[in-house]
Chain A
């Protein structure tokens, strides 16, 4: 149950992160004044990102209710693995070796954590 919830949080946060980056690139980067910065926060990318992250956080509270935070929080790094796998097998990108090595380290770390 906890792990299914963590998986859901990871999916929602990775989606939210990508949307944040898209939003930051499109609007915030070119904002020259305070009012332009505020306006840039209301683009659809940012609003969708906030919806993803807001639902993720309620689910995350349920995870924290059931689990140690020092155990649960590092599981969020699985987001990197999800993004990398989708880049390779869904977007057919070439993924350099250092990234695969990173995934091996993350998965090894997660499996140690899962035993505690």
Chain B
């Protein structure tokens, strides 16, 4: 039983890490698309995507991470309830923020509004998913 629990925790951590990587890789891919395409997403996307390796490679990396994170998330959900698992996904917001700021190719600004906003959202996600009483379980 202990073994299963720790395996599920590893799956959950993987899922968080992979979903943050997915966001960052997809953003890098879209930055490449902007560099090589025009100002319009639709036109750029379908004409440039298969002509530019950087766009395609980062997109593939991002989508693979996304698919793997979804798979490990589902497997983790067979062991944990959503109310326990969801707050962990909140960690993804922090990882994406730090990655977007410190990864030079993305290079987004760190501002106090953004930091405070993300912290508030994180607190909110924990509160939304917190199971507060036995009564509630009876209702549900």
Residues in A lying within 8 Å of B, measured CB to CB: 20-21, 23-24, 28-29, 53, 57, 60-62, 64-66, 68-71, 73-74, 77, 80, 84, 93-94, 96-99, 101-113, 115-116
Contact = CB atoms under 8 A, between A and B. Distances in A.
21 contacts: A20-B74, A21-B82, A23-B74, A24-B78, A28-B78, A57-B66, A65-B41, A68-B109, A69-B100, A73-B96, A97-B132, A98-B127, A98-B128, A99-B130, A101-B124, A105-B123, A109-B118, A112-B120, A113-B113, A113-B117, A113-B121
A28 to B, nearest CB: 5
Contacts of A106: 120-121, 124-125, 128
Q: Which 7 A-B pairs have the closest CB atoms?
A: A105-B124, A102-B127, A102-B128, A109-B120, A106-B124, A112-B117, A109-B121
Contacts of B63: 57
Given A61-B45, A64-B27, A70-B108, A105 B77 contact: no
B71 to A, nearest CB: 9
Interface of B: 23-24, 26-27, 29-30, 33-34, 41-42, 44-45, 59, 63, 66, 70, 73-75, 77-78, 82, 86, 90, 92-93, 96-97, 100-101, 106, 108-109, 111, 113-114, 116-130, 132-133, 136, 139-140
